[in-house]
Every structure is written in C-alpha cells, then in structure tokens.
C-alpha cells in the first residue's frame, strides 16, 4: 500500500514588534500546527513603520535559533523588506501559500492600518500575489495574554488556505484584549472612519535644545456606526477588514475632471 | 477710501528628499507667489518611508534659514511627522489652507504611492482634513530640471485653493521628465496596476557577513490601458490621481461573509 503524503502549506511569518516579541512566538506556535513555517522578521521593533522600505541603505540578516525547529532569520529592515527578502531571496522559486504578520501588541484598526508595520507586511504580500493576514491584539503590554486569540487565528488561517483570499487583498484581523467574557464571534467589516489627534509633549534636552514625544488620542468620527472594526473590537468581537492597495478615490476623479485644467 | 486687504492662503510645504533638495526649493519658489509659506521638512532623505511615523523615539527640530524670507524648520522625523508637527505645534490654532509635498526626485505613480514618503505627507494632511497635493518628477537626479513643472504646479495649486479638493482626498501629481517636446497637458486618472519585482544584490561585508541592496524593476500589469498614471507620464502628460486612505476592499467583504466563520 502506498502511503499518501500531503504537502504542507508553506507559511511565512513576520511582524513589526521584532523577532523576540511574544506576539510572533504565539503566531509561530499556531502556524506550526498547519504548515511548514519560515520566519523572516525585523531584528528590532518597527512599530509605526507604515509601508517603509529600505532603498537607500543596506539590509543585514542573521540566522536565528529563537524558535525550536523553525527556519528563522532576523533582518535589519522593515516588515515590508522582510516579505520582499523572503520571497525573492530565502524562498526564491518556492510558492508561499500564506503570509501571516503579527500578532501585533496593540490594535491596528481604523486609520492605524496606514501607520501599521504589521499590515504593511501583509499588504506587501498582497501586492506580490500572496494570500496574507495581519493579526493584532488590542493590548500593548509586552506580556499581553494571547491565549484567547489562538483558536481564531487557526480557524481564519485554515479558511484562508482552503477558500483563498480575494485577489490582491490582505486581511486585517484585530482581537479585543482578553476579557472576563469569551469573544462573541467574528465580524467581517470595513475600516472605521477616525484619526489620531496628536499632542506633542515638548521637552528640553540637557543642552537646552527642544525635542518632542508624539502622543495623543484616537478620535472616532462615527461612534454610533456598527459596521466598522472599532465597533467590533470594542464590543468583544474579532474584526476582519479586507484591505486593498488601490488608493484611487474613483468618485473624486469625476469631480476633478470638472476642473478642466 | 478703504484699502481692501486679501488674506494670503497659508501653505505648508514638506517633502521626503530632505530640506536641502532641489525639488523642495522649486516648490517654495512657486508657492511664495500664491501664499504665505511655512516649511517643515525632514533634515535628511526619507525616500521609501511610506507612512512611517515616529512613535518610539524623540523628534528633534531646528529652525532653518535655507529659504530667504520663509519660516522653515528641519525635523528629525518622517514626512508624516512633519505634517503632524506643523499642524499641532508650529501652526497650532491656525488654519492651513493647503499642504504641498515634494517635488520628489523620482516618480511616485502606480503602487509607488504606497512606498512614497512624499505622498504619505499629503495623505497625512488629508486625514487631518487639510487639502493636499504631492508632486513628483520622473527624474531621480539631484539636479533634475524642474523648470517645465512650475506653471503646472501653480495652476493646480490655485485650482485646489479656489475649488477645494474632495474631502479627505490627497492629489498625487506626477510630471514627466523634461523632454524636447513640451508637456501635452494634464490627465486626471487612476493608479496604475503594477508592482516592483525585486532583485536583491547579495554582497559580503569586510568581515564576510552577508548584506543586500534592494533593487529591481517596475512591472506594469496593464501596459495597454490608457486610463492610468503610468500611461499618462510615459506619454508626456501630467498625471493627477485623487487618493483616499480607506483601505477597505468593499467587494471582498461580501465574499468573506460567505466564509461563515
């Protein structure tokens, strides 16, 4: 009798908090149950990196033994660099079945998707035609509790592998922080309309020169609406927003054409 | 008889090539003819910075006398940081009528809008409800010829000030490099569907450790189409793409809801 061998899916893992963060170790643990895992992640925190890439400097890499039995590399670049390096160098010629990024320590809902290194890695994968998912937890703590996210991550990743993700789309998945009540379920929804209202904390360095810390709070422009990711997370649901990378505002094209310039 | 005084519009200028680049000096020259100009720009090149912001480090600023008669500051942060600092610190309480970013040395059409520091500044302004325009020239040279762009920049900025820009939208304006023939006109169009196919140039440092330079070429997925920015620029038109920051792929929401998870 022949033994039937199933090919395990090839899963690339990255993040923006850096290879030593707790969130990525949870993602590695879950993904090892579903596929062959390769990790290429930043060697230091890259929060707020947006879709930065390293074009004017060199990229440095080092093999890492941080995850037992997992091929892993740490990279001096950004999350988007890590995906590019994985696809075009470490895994050149191999088909990557899924890119997962995270789990981010901190929420990446609403406008934060634009600033998020976690999501930039997922969107970079989508640009390169690889199904991808960014995972984030609404808890900034370095030792945040990720236990309640595991079964959802596995479920969503398996669905993505079996059903596929709409072409050139990355999923932005956000989890509520661990609460006394279990998560109520999953909401597929749209990006909330909101922004960060900055306040700059102005200080003087020991030489009397000014410097700033960026701070501030999130402003929800549609607190009554229930169809968006912020509402879902605040109400103890997992939010999934499918994201594309066509920034064109199609309706505005018509208006601008009226300018007749 | 009373003398009627017109308020000059307040125009904030930034870029991603840094405050000493030629492109920003051209933008200052043109904008001085239409309004009161304040410059807050990075103190060093920020190309490929995407929508990065400085959340885990301090921001440093210095007053600059680089532009005669113009209030200017150089900042250690990213282009998006510069817009935030200008709005919430340097120009706090004042209404900014227009943010212009650039002129970038190099094109920011198609998918490059995602990687572009120039456009991230413009999009940051749009998030903050300020009309904004990013300008880029399809010429990387430090001493690129910007002469042919000036009359178009003035025209587009004046139209934006008089007509307004659709809400929460930033204009991505790209100019062809200077050619023997004059520019044919302006095309309002959408973002081209393309991507950067990377090739990593792998080298060894003097200690034998590997490092990489990211390189590669642009791949146009729709070379026959004439409704997009790459086509316009390649055919000696100025391209204008209105950009928003809602990354939601609305059509994909329906598909994902069928997953029933």
- List pLDDT tens digits, range B23-48: 999 999 999 999 999 999 999 987 77
Across the interface, whether the CB atoms of B53 and A54 are under 8 A apart is answered: no
Residue-level pLDDT at A48: 76
Q: How far is B3 from chain A (nearest CA, A)?
A: 32
Residue-level pLDDT at B61: 93
Contact B73, B40 (CB under 8 A): yes
Residue-level pLDDT at B47: 77
- Chain B, residues 86-145, CB within 8 A of chain A, namely 87-89, 111, 113-115, 120, 123, 127-128
Contact A85, A121 (CB under 8 A): no
CA A10, chain centre distance (Å) = 18
Q: What is the pTM of this model?
A: 0.93
Q: How confident is the model at residue A57 (pLDDT cuts 50, 70, 90)?
A: confident
Q: How far is B4 from chain A (nearest CA, A)?
A: 28
What value of ipTM does the predicted structure carry?
0.90
Q: Where are the alpha helices (DSSP H) in B61-149?
A: 79-85, 112-115, 117-127
What CATH number has the domain spanning B10-192+224-246?
Answer: 3.40.1210.10
Across the interface, whether the CB atoms of B191 and A247 are under 8 A apart is answered: yes
What CATH number has the domain spanning A10-192+225-257?
Answer: 3.40.1210.10
Q: How far is A102 from chain B (nearest CA, A)?
A: 17
Contact B90, B62 (CB under 8 A): no
Residue-wise pLDDT for B232-242, tens only, equals 999 999 999 99
Q: Strand locations in chain B, DSSP E?
A: 10-14, 36-42, 59-64, 71-75, 98-105, 132-137, 170-175, 185-188, 194-204, 210-220, 237-243
Residue-wise pLDDT for B201-218, tens only, equals 999 999 999 899 998 899
A214 in reach of chain B (CB within 8 A): yes
Percentage, residues of chain B above pLDDT 90: 88
A161 in reach of chain B (CB within 8 A): no
Residue-wise pLDDT for A9-29, tens only, equals 999 999 999 999 999 999 999
* Distance between CA atoms of residues B82 and B137, nearest Å: 21
Residue-level pLDDT at B117: 94
Contact A241, A189 (CB under 8 A): yes
Residue-level pLDDT at B1: 52
Across the interface, whether the CB atoms of B48 and A55 are under 8 A apart is answered: yes
Across the interface, whether the CB atoms of A52 and B49 are under 8 A apart is answered: yes
Q: What average pLDDT does this structure show over A187-212?
A: 93
Residue-level pLDDT at A5: 61
Residue-wise pLDDT for A78-92, tens only, equals 999 999 999 999 999
* Distance between CA atoms of residues B84 and B80, nearest Å: 6
Residue of B nearest to A255 (CA): B166
Tokens of B260: 């029933």
Percentage, residues of chain A above pLDDT 90: 88
Burial class (CB in 10 A: 0-12, 13-18, 19+), A5: exposed
Residue-level pLDDT at B8: 93
A260 in reach of chain B (CB within 8 A): no
Q: What average pLDDT does this structure show over B16-21?
A: 96
The rounded mean pLDDT for chain B is: 94
Strand order through the sheet with B170-175: A194-204, A210-220, B59-64, B71-75, B36-42, B10-14, B98-105, B132-137, B170-175, B237-243, B185-188
Residue of A nearest to B168 (CA): A249
Residue-level pLDDT at B33: 96
Residue of A nearest to B162 (CA): A259
Across the interface, whether the CB atoms of B56 and A50 are under 8 A apart is answered: no
Across the interface, whether the CB atoms of B58 and A211 are under 8 A apart is answered: yes
Q: What average pLDDT does this structure show over B51-55?
A: 84
Residue-wise pLDDT for A124-181, tens only, equals 999 999 999 999 999 999 999 999 999 999 999 999 999 999 998 999 999 999 999 9
């Amino acid at each position: 009798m022949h033994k039937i061998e199933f090919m395990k899916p090839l899963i690339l893992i990255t993040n923006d908090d850096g290879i030593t963060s707790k969130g990525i170790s949870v993602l590695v643990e879950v993904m090892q149950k579903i596929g062959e895992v390769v990790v290429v992640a930043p060697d230091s925190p890259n929060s707020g990196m947006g879709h930065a890439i390293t074009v004017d400097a060199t990229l440095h890499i080092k093999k890492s033994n941080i995850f037992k039995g997992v091929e892993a590399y740490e990279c001096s670049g950004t999350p988007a660099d890590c995906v590019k390096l994985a696809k075009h160098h470490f895994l050149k010629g191999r088909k990557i079945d899924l890119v997962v990024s995270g789990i981010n320590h901190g929420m990446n809902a609403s406008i934060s998707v634009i600033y998020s290194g976690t999501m930039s890695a997922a969107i970079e994968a989508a640009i390169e035609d690889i199904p991808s998912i960014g995972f984030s937890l609404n808890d900034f703590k370095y030792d945040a509790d990720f236990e309640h996210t595991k079964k959802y991550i596995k479920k969503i990743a398996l669905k993505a592998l079996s059903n596929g993700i709409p072409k050139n789309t990355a999923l932005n998945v956000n989890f509520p922080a661990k609460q006394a009540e279990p998560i109520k379920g999953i909401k597929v929804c749209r990006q909330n309309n909101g922004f960060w209202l900055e306040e700059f904390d102005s200080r003087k360095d020991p030489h009397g020169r000014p410097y700033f810390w960026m701070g501030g709070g999130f402003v929800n422009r549609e607190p009554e609406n229930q169809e968006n990711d912020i509402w879902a997370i605040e109400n103890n649901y997992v939010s999934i927003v499918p994201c594309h990378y066509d920034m064109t505002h199609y309706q505005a094209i018509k208006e601008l054409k009226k300018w007749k310039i």
